[in-house]
Structure formats: structure tokens, C-alpha cells
Structure 1
Amino acid sequence: MSAQPNWDNDALNRAVHTMWAARSQGTQSGKHMAAVEDLVIKSAIEACKGTPITFLRGEAATLPGVYRPRKNWDLVALDDDRLVFAIEMKSQSVEKISNNANNRNEEAIGSATDLRLAHKKGLLGRDRGDAHRPWIGYFFILEEALQSTRPARQQVSAALPTDPAYGTHPSYEDRYRLLCERLLENKLYDGACFLLSGTDPGAVVKQPDPSAGIDFGSFMASLDGYLAKYCANRT
């Protein structure tokens, strides 16, 4: 992995709390992540060094799939008719958290699997096959509150023994952190980021230890390193 950029944590904090403020007005517009997306785009432009990359957001950031006709991503970058990268950005408040957790996991796994297969089938532009492999990222912000950080009240059990990494009473923080770690470890995504943040404007955004590879600096270092190599070898 390339060296991590020197991130302005204040800028990240501001972007995350701008997201929470926008989210309080509703997520239907799909624009609540705009401030975080702006941070990623700014860094990507610098990494591209003048390469004419087009960034798409909202409804425009829709890509073809295999298991479904199309999927709307949150941030997509195109080089003419070639997909360069796609990022899924999610936030989770503690409201209805117990209803959404499994859906979030399944969606993350399915989206990456579908996009990887779409690439292999030549649906994502020129340079079909493994000559050019688009970078895929997963970015997740969880509200820090008692409901998300305390151990589960009921013991996790199944017909067979569960993965010891979850323990017996994993919190939602534990579950989402492990999700991001394993999406990265198993190469479903090239970059994954997990942030924990209270919704109060003064709350500090918390990140995992950089050694886990799912902090914001590691996420952006992976993307920027990919873009630098892509632009240097662009044909």
C-alpha cells in the first residue's frame, strides 16, 4: 500500500457532521453524503494529475450489473467510456439499526460481487478483462450511541458454532467493523473505511487503528495509489 496522505482530520470531521445534518433532513435525495464525496473527489483530482476523469453522483452514478440490470452507486469515476472506480457510501443511525444490519451486509457483498462479474463480462467499458480492473470502495459511517456500541443483549447462536471473532454478544460497532475488515481481506473491495461518530457537531469522528486498513487514510491511500498508477499507464 502506498504511503498514507496527511489528512486534515478537521476537514473529515466537518464533512461527517455535515452529512449527519443533511441526513436529519432525510436520505431520499441521496445528497446527504455530498460533503464526504467532495473530500474524495478533491483527492482523486490531485492524484489524477490532469487526466480528464469525470465524476458522477446521484442518479448519474448508475452502472450495469449481471444479477440485476443496473445498480446505483454513490460515486463513480469514468475515463471516457471506461469505469475507473466506484464507491458505495453508507451511513447508519441507531434508529431501526436492528432491522438494517443484515441488509447492509448482504447489500455490500452483493454489490461488489455483481460489479466484479460485470467487469469480467465486458460491461464496464474498454480494456475488457483483467488488463484494467476498476477500483471498488466501501465507506461506512455508524452513529456512536449506546445502542450501537453496547454488547448485544441476546447471545449470538446458530445451528453450528459461530465465528469466534464475533464473540458471544457482538455490538453493532463490532459487526460493521468486522464487515469492513473482511470485505477488504477477501478482496471484494479494494478499499474499505469504517467511521464511528456521534451526531453532535462537536463530536470527534473515531476511526480504527490504521493497522486494520479500514481508516480513512488507508482508504484514500489505496484509491490515490491506484489512480496514480492508472493515470501513469493510461492508454
Structure 2
Amino acid sequence: MTLDLVNYEQKAHEAVKSFWSNREVAKQKQLLTGKADHGERAGVTAGKNMDGFLALVLDIIQANGLAHAEIHQNRSMLTLPGYFRPTKLWDLLVIYKGELIAAIELKSQVGSFGNNFNNRTEEAIGTAYDLWTAYREEAFGKQPRPFVGWLMMVEDAPKSRCAVRDASPHFPVFGEFEGASYLMRYDLLCQKLVKEQLYTTAALITSTRCAAETGEFSEMSSMTGFRPFVTALAGHVAAAAARLD
């Protein structure tokens, strides 16, 4: 089986450019209206920052045999039933012949690292655990396991790279977290999400703000790089297409 990775590296660079550009456009638009949010939130509320990565994911799905699948991007069509709650809103859903093929989350973090790392972690774990429990209870019917992906873009900045202290007065934290920066912690999170089979694959991309012109990005480790993410997605899509067509 030959997989089509749709020139993903070039498209990832374009997605990074779009990410930073969309943030700036959203911020300037709010300033013009006089309703700007505080801090980094001004660049977030437009909700279009990860659209470049979303387009890349769509290209992979369409190029590997599921061009005719239901690929949902509109908010009203992005909910799945949960087990611990009625529904969960995802960033992308792929359904083909009544089967859930893929559910993908696309997240980002710029600034406010200390405030948001735990929130992102709890959200990622809870979302996946809820989905797999619902899957066990046949909320999606009897079907093979879907592809469940988590893609995270984090700002590469001094505050995300510096060592972080933890206070745990009763019991020691795991050694790998001691003095680990927020980028290292996100990398560990992605590795453990996959190790514990909460996600089929989880990728971490880092980029500085000046990448709006170059689209330059980096990866923290081979285990959480972008190529494993796109390869796993392409493989799952191709296998589903071969099985269902």
C-alpha cells in the first residue's frame, strides 16, 4: 500500500505562516472595533488559527481513498456522544458509510503557559477517555477503532523553554518532570497519550512568532513529530477505504 503524504512538509510551513498571520489579523480587527480582549486572547477568539493544519489533514484524507467520505468541519456537525457527558465537540470528524473513521483535535498555545498547560492536559485526557468509554459501550455502533488524533502547536519562546519548578509537598513528582520546560512537558504529554492508547497519535509542533514570514517550525522528538502523525492518519484512512469500498 502506497500512502500519499501530499507534500505535507511544505503545507505545514504554509499552515504555520497562516497560524501567526491569522492571530495578528484577529488582534488588529479587535483593536479597530475597540473590543480587544486582554493579553494573548485577542489573537485566539477568531478561531481560525489552525485552519492551515485542518486543510492539510483534509488533503491527506482525500488523497488516501476517502474523498467521498463525510468530512465535517462545521460546528453543528462536530459533536459525538460521550459516556460521562451527553456530547463532545471535536475539531474534525470523518464518517464513511455510517462508520466513524477519525476524530481529530487541533490545539494551540501562545503565551500564558503556566495558566494553560494543566487545562490542555486535563482536556486531552478527559476527551479521549470519554470517547473510548463511549466506544466500548457501542455509542458509534459495532465498528473497528477509529483514528483519534491530537495535534498541538506551541509557541517557541523563552518562557516555554525555561525550566519550571513544581511544588509537591507530600510525594515526589515523576523524575522526567523535574525542571522540565513547558515544551518538554507537552512532548511528554504527547508521548504518554499515545503510550496509554488514549490517542492513535499525538504530535507537537513548536514555532516562534517571527515564523509568520518563513513558516519555520520545529519538533521536540521523533515520537511526537509531524511525519508520524500524517503517516498514521494516511495509513488508517487507506485501510478504511480498502475495507469499506
TM category (shorter chain) comes to 0.7 to 0.9
Residue 100 (1) aligns with residue 112 (2): no
**Aligned-pair RMSD on alpha carbons?**
2.1
Equivalent residues of 2:66, 2:237 under 8 A apart: no
CA contact (8 A) 2:102 2:146 kept: yes
Deviation at 1:3, TM superposition (A): 7.8
2:168 matched to 1:157?
A: yes
Kindly provide the amino acid, as one letter, of the partner of residue 161 in structure 1: P
Q: Percent identity at matched positions?
A: 30
Residue of structure 1 in register with 2:52 after alignment: 35
Tell whether the 8 Å contact from 2:16 to 2:215 is kept in structure 1 after alignment. Answer: no
Contact 1:17 1:199 in 2 (8 A): no
* 2:182 aligned with 1:172: yes
- The number of residues matched between the two structures is 224
Q: Structure 1: how far apart are the matches of 2:46 and 2:159?
A: 26
Give the aligned partner of residue 140 of structure 1.
152
- What's the TM-score, normalizing by structure 2? 0.84
SS at match of 2:219: coil
Report if the CA contact (8 A) 2:6-2:59 is conserved: no
Q: Specify the SS of the correspondent of 1:233.
A: helix
Name the structure 1 match of 2:10. Answer: 10
The answer to whether 1:54 aligns with 2:91 is no
Deviation at 1:170, TM superposition (A): 1.4
Residue 32 (structure 1) shift: 2.2
Q: Distance in 2 between matches of 1:158 and 1:216?
A: 37
2:132 is the alignment partner of 1:116: yes
Unaligned segments of structure 1, at least 5 residues? none
The answer to whether the 8 Å contact 2:103/2:147 transfers is yes
Shift of 1:98: 1.1
Alpha-carbon distance in structure 2 between the residues aligned to 1:217 and 1:199: 22
Which sections of structure 2, spanning at least 5 residues, go unmatched?
27-42
Q: Partner letter of residue 139 of structure 1?
A: L
Report deviation, 1:156: 4.8
Shift of 1:166: 1.5
| 1:187 equivalent in structure 2 | 197
Deviation string for 1:103-161 (max 9, x for gaps)?
Answer: 1000000000111111122222x4x1xx4111100000000111101112x34534212
* Shift in Å, 1:82: 1.9
Q: Which structure is higher in helix share?
A: 2
Task: Tell me, yes or no, if the aligned pair for 2:69 and 2:96 is still in contact at 8 Å.
Answer: yes
SS of the residue corresponding to residue 218 of structure 1 reads helix
Given that 2:15 and 2:215 are in contact with CA atoms closer than 8 Å, whether structure 1 keeps it comes out as no
Name segments (4+ residues, structure 1) moved above 6 Å. Answer: none
Q: CA deviation at 1:218?
A: 0.4
Q: Does the CA-based 8 Å contact 2:14-2:215 persist in structure 1?
A: no
